[in-house]
Structure 1
Amino acid sequence: MIRVASVQTNPAMNAVSDNVEAMVATMGDLARDRVQLAVFPELATTGYMFTDAEECRTVAEEIPTGPTTERLLHACAEYNMHLVFGIAEKDGDRLYNSSVLLGPTGYIGKYRKLHLWNKENIVFSPGDLGLAVHETALGTIGILICYDLWFPEAARTLALDGAEILCVPTNWVPIAAGNGPDGSAMATVLCSAAAHCNGIPVVAADRCGTERGQDFLGRSVITSHTGWTAAGPAPTLTEHVLVADLDTAAIGPGRRWNDFNNPIGDRRTDSYRISD
C-alpha cells in the first residue's frame, strides 16, 4: 500500500517564495500522516493567470537547478517523501508549463504539458519531451497536466509503458457542459474513466479560488485503479488535502475482469485509427 495525498491550494500570483514555503509546511503535516507521495496543482509555485510570456519569464525557473526545485528537494529529503508539483519552466528562450517529480534521494524527472489550454498558448511552448514514465521506490509514475487528461491516448500511452500511478497537477476551470448543477465536474469523471479504462490509480490535484477574474474548480480527487473514488472530490472554494492508501499490487490482477477480458490486452490495434 502507498499513502498518497492530493493537495488543493490557492497560490498567490507571482509570490513564488511564499507559495513554496506553504508547500513545505504542508509537506511537514503530510509526513506526520505518513504520506509517501504528495501531488500539488499545476503552476502551484507561481499562479496561473499570466498576462503574457514576459510576465511569466520573471518567475520561471530552470529545472532542476532553479531555487524552487532545490528548496523542494531539501524538503523531500527531510520528510522522506516523493513530490509532484507544477512550475513555470524556463529553458533558454522558451517557457513551458511543467511538472517536476522529486524523491527523497533527488531529482527524478519532469514533464512538459503537451496540450495547452486557451491563453496558455500565448505564454508557453507546447511540451516537447513526450510522455515518459519514471521508476521510483514507490512504483512507476506517469504525469499529465490538466487538459492532457481530455486526450485518452495520453493516459493509455503511460499505462502501456508501465505507469502504476498517474499524477495530474491541474488548474481546472469551469467550462460549458463540463460541470453539473449538483456541483459535479466532468474533470473528475475523466479521472475515474482514465483510471478504470487503464487499471491505474489517478491522483489529481487542482487549485481553488479566483485569480485575476478567473474562477477555478477545485474538486481535486484520488481514484483507485478500479476508477472508483478513493478520496474526494474536494470542495470547490477552499484549500483541502485528500489522503488515500492505494494498492499498486492490485493493478495487474485488477485488469483481469474475467477469464477473457482485460482492457489492456484486448486492444484491437489493427482496427484503430491512430492518426488523421
Structure 2
Amino acid sequence: MFSLPVVPLRVASIALAAQRGEIEQNAERVVARIERAARERIGLAVFPEACLTGGIGGGMSTPTRTMRRAQMKALAASVDGEHVQAVADAVERTGVAAGVGLIERAADGALYSSYVVCLPGGKRHVHRKLHADGQPHLASGDRFTVFEMRGGWRLAVLVGGDNYPVENARMAALLGAGLLVAPHASHETDAWMRRALPARALDNGLFVVYCEHGEGAIVDPCGQVVAQRAGGDETISAELDPALLGTSPAHRWLDTRRPDLYARLAHESRAGMPSFEPRNAGARGAVAVSFAVVRRNG
C-alpha cells in the first residue's frame, strides 16, 4: 500500500563522464562529488550508469558496442569490491546516500550493467539492468529493485533501457515507489528521455531523477521538470516535497485500474490468436447509413 514519505528529500543529478578502465580514478571523482554534495545538504546523489568502470554507452558504430567479451570482462568489478566500498565509506562518512553504476562481474562469471545504491548505515541495494539490448556480452537482470530509505522514501531503480518500456515504471509505482532513479549512459536517446520521463512521472505519480554525463533532469509527480541539465558537468538538485505525491492525479488513475483487462500484457501472443478483441454483429439484414457534410455561410 502506498504511503507518503514524512520528510522532504534533497536530491542531485551529478554528471560524471567515466574514463573507461580507470576505475580507481573514477571512484575518487565520485567520492569527491559525494563530499561536495554533503556541503550542499544533498540527501541522495545520483550518478550515471557505469560511472565507475565505463564501457557502456555510445552509438552502435562505436568501439563500445563492438567490444569483445574479454575486453568488457577486464573492465568489470564486483559490487562487493574495494571501489564500491570506497563509495560506501564516503556515504557513511558524509550521510549522503549515493547511486553508482558499473559493469558487474558476478560470482558465476556473468557480466551485468549494475547500479548500486549505498545508504548510510551500511545497506546496499543492487539493480541489474533488465534490458541489456545492444550489449551482447551483458546478461539481463530478472527482478525489479524497490527499497526504502530514511524518511519513508521508497525508491525504484531503472537503468538506461529499462526506462523505455512503459510497463517498468508502472511496476515501480505498483510496488510503492515514490521516487524513480533513472541513470543512463547513452547520448542517442537524450531527446527521447526528455520527453518520456515527464510522462512516466505523470502517469505513475513518481518523482524521477534522470542522470547521465551530459543530460539530466528532476521531474515531479505531476510531470513538471523542476531542474534540468543540457550538456556539461553541472550538478542539478531539487528538494522533493512529499506532499506532491499525494496531489498527483496518477494515484486516482492507479486506483481505477482494471487488471482483468490487461492480462494479455503479461503473456506472449500465441499463434492463431487475434491481436484484437473480436466483436460479433447482432443486427439482422442490412442497415443503410448515409452521411452529409453541411457548410453554413456566416
Letter in 1 for 2:255: G
2:257 matched to which residue of 1? 267
2:3 matched to which residue of 1? none
1:213 matched to which residue of 2? none
1:136 matched to which residue of 2? 149
Alignment of 1:1-276 (within 5 A): 1-47=8-54, 48=56, 49=64, 51-63=67-79, 65-91=80-106, 92-118=108-134, 120=135, 122-128=136-142, 130-138=143-151, 139-174=153-188, 185-207=191-213, 218-232=214-228, 234-236=229-231, 238-251=232-245, 253-256=246-249, 262-272=252-262, 273-274=264-265, 275-276=267-268
**Which range is displaced more, 88-97 or 35-44?**
88-97
RMSD: 1.6
Indicate if the aligned counterparts of 1:9 and 1:240 stay in contact, CA closer than 8 A. Answer: no
TM-score computed with the length of structure 1 as normaliser: 0.85
TM-score computed with the length of structure 2 as normaliser: 0.79
* 1:216-239 deviation per Cα after TM superposition (whole angstroms, max 9, x unaligned): xx221110111110100x123x21
- Compared CA separation, residues 256 and 239, structure 1 to 2 (3 A): closer
Which consecutive residues of structure 1, in runs of 5 or more, have no partner in the other structure? 180-184, 208-217
DSSP-derived class of the 1:193 partner: helix
Identical aligned pairs, as a percentage? 28
Structure with greater proportional strand content: 1
Letter in 2 for 1:100: V
Q: Offset at 1:74?
A: 0.3
Letter in 2 for 1:60: A
Letter in 2 for 1:194: R
DSSP-derived class of the 1:46 partner: coil
Q: Offset at 1:147?
A: 0.8
> Structure 2 CA distance, aligned partners of 1:102 and 1:248?
22
Indicate if the aligned counterparts of 2:101 and 2:114 stay in contact, CA closer than 8 A. Answer: yes
Indicate if the aligned counterparts of 1:82 and 1:103 stay in contact, CA closer than 8 A. Answer: yes
